[in-house]
Chain A
Amino acid sequence: MKLTLRIWRQRNADEPGAMTPYEVTGISEDMSFLEMLDQLNERLILEGEEPVAFDHDCREGICGACGMVINGQAHGPERTTTCQLHMRHFADGDTIDVEPWRAAAFPVVKDLVVDRSAFDRVIGAGGYISVPTGSAPEAHATPVPKPVADLAFEHAECIGCGACVAACPNGSAMLFTSAKVVHLNVLPQGAPERESRVRGMVEAMDAEGFGGCTNTGECAVACPKGIPLTSIGRMNREYLRAVVKGTPSGGR
Chain B
Amino acid sequence: MALATTRTARDPSLIGSLWRSTVGKKAVMAGTGLIMLAYLVAHMLGNLKVFFGAGEFNRYGHWIRTIGEPFLHHMWFLWLARVVLTASVVLHGVSAYQLSRRDLAARPAKYRHSRRRSSYATRTMRWGGVILALFIIWHILDLTTLTVNPNHQEGHPYQNLVASFDRWYVSAFYIAAMLALGLHIRHGFWSAAQTLGANSPRRDRALKAMANLLAAVLTCGFIAVPVGVLTGVVS
Contact = CB atoms under 8 A, between A and B. Distances in A.
User: Do A and B touch, yes or no (CB under 8 Å, in the complex)?
Assistant: yes
Interface of A: 6, 8, 19, 69, 71-73, 97, 99, 102-105, 130, 132, 168-172, 196, 199, 202-203, 205-206, 209-218, 228-230, 232-241, 243-244, 246-252
A203 B108 CA distance: 21
A100 to B, nearest CB: 9
Interface residues of B, number: 52
B7 A171 contact: no
A103 B10 contact: no
B14 A244 contact: yes
Given A104-B105, A209-B105, A211-B107, 18 more contacts: A72-B113, A72-B115, A99-B111, A104-B106, A130-B5, A202-B21, A206-B22, A211-B106, A215-B191, A218-B118, A230-B204, A232-B194, A233-B199, A236-B23, A236-B26, A239-B21, A244-B14, A252-B7
Contact of B17 (A19, A211, A218, A243): A243
A8 B112 CA distance: 9
Contact of B200 (A206, A233, A243): A233
Contacts of B191: 214-215
A232 B190 CA distance: 13
**Residue of B14, B23, B112, B200 with most chain A CB atoms under a 10 A cut-off:** B23
B190 A215 contact: yes
A229 B197 CA distance: 12
Contacts of A246: 12, 14
Nearest to B3: A132
Interface string B1-45: 001011111101010011011111111000000000000000000
A247 B12 contact: yes
Given A202-B21, A252-B5, A213 B107 contact: no
Given A69-B111, A233-B194, A212 B25 contact: yes
A237 to B, nearest CB: 2
B125 interface: yes
A169 B103 contact: yes
Contact of A72 (B9, B23, B111, B194): B111
B186 to A, nearest CB: 12
Given A130-B5, A212-B103, A250-B7, A73 B115 contact: yes
A214 B12 CA distance: 25
B21 A211 contact: no
B8 A251 contact: yes
B62 interface: no
Interface of B: 3, 5-10, 12, 14, 17-18, 20-27, 99, 102-115, 117-118, 122-123, 125, 187, 190-191, 193-201, 204
Pairs of residues from A and B, 8 with the lowest C-beta to C-beta distance, nearest first? A237-B197, A211-B106, A72-B115, A212-B22, A170-B103, A233-B199, A171-B106, A97-B113
A237 B196 contact: yes
Given A212-B99, A230-B200, A243 B107 contact: no
Nearest to B187: A215
26 contacts: A72-B114, A97-B113, A103-B107, A130-B5, A171-B103, A196-B7, A203-B21, A205-B22, A206-B20, A209-B106, A212-B26, A213-B22, A214-B191, A215-B122, A215-B187, A215-B190, A215-B191, A228-B201, A232-B194, A233-B193, A233-B199, A233-B200, A246-B14, A247-B12, A252-B6, A252-B7
A205, A228, A239, A251: residue with the most chain B Cβ atoms closer than 10 Å:
A239
Given A217-B118, A228-B201, A248 B106 contact: no
Kindly name the residue among B6, B12, B22, B118 whose own CB sees the greatest number of chain A CB atoms within 10 A. Answer: B22
B210 to A, nearest CB: 15
Nearest to A70: B113
Contacts of B9: 248
Contact of B107 (A72, A102, A233, A237): A102
A229 B123 CA distance: 17
A237 B26 CA distance: 12
Contacts of A8: 112
A8 B110 CA distance: 12
A102 B171 CA distance: 43
Contacts of B27: 236, 240
